[in-house]
């Protein structure tokens, strides 16, 4: 989820190239929350700065929802401040990547997340993931 169309497109292409299927994108946190509440999502990748509802606010919503709270949540941001990192960690972010980043970094970090965090739907194949 990112408010910048080019970034959404780049992330979508990267995720598809990494083997993720059914990649859903959202322009803002409100749209993202609607997607999360309407279909099973295995992983959230979200920008910190978004209109209508920030990535941090979306993280709070996800972590406070009993149906969503286990979903791994990766935060992307151009803000490299200790405040942002502490805030995201205290809210329960799974991982935090500062933009710009390399595709290999994203792939490595996603691999670590998927190895260490159980997916919400334990019956889903590890070869097929839904990313939001």
The structure's pTM equals: 0.82
Q: What is the pLDDT of residue 124?
A: 40
Percentage of the chain exceeding pLDDT 70 = 86
Between CA 109 and CA 96 the distance in angstroms is: 9
The CATH architecture to which 5-116 belongs is 3-Layer(aba) Sandwich (3.40)
Give pLDDT tens digits for 52-86.
899 999 999 999 999 999 999 999 988 778 888 88
Between CA 20 and CA 129 the distance in angstroms is: 5
In our burial notation (b when 16+ CB lie closer than 10 A, e otherwise), range 36-56 reads beeeebbbbbbbbebeebbbb
Give pLDDT tens digits for 87-106.
899 999 999 999 888 999 99
pLDDT at 108 over 90: yes
pLDDT at 128 over 50: no
Between CA 15 and CA 21 the distance in angstroms is: 8
């Amino acid at each position: 989820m990112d408010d910048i169309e080019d970034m959404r497109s780049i992330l979508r292409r990267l995720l598809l190239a990494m083997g993720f299927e059914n990649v859903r994108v959202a322009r803002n946190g409100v749209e993202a929350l609607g997607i999360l509440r309407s279909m099973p999502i295995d992983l959230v990748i979200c920008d910190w700065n978004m209109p209508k509802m920030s990535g941090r606010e979306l993280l709070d919503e996800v972590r406070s929802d009993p149906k969503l709270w286990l979903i791994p949540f990766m935060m992307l941001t151009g803000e490299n401040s200790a405040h942002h990192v502490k805030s995201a960690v205290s809210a329960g972010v799974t991982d935090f990547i500062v933009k710009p980043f390399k595709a290999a970094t994203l792939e490595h970090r996603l691999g670590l997340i998927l190895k260490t965090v159980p997916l919400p739907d334990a019956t889903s194949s590890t070869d097929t993931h839904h990313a939001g």
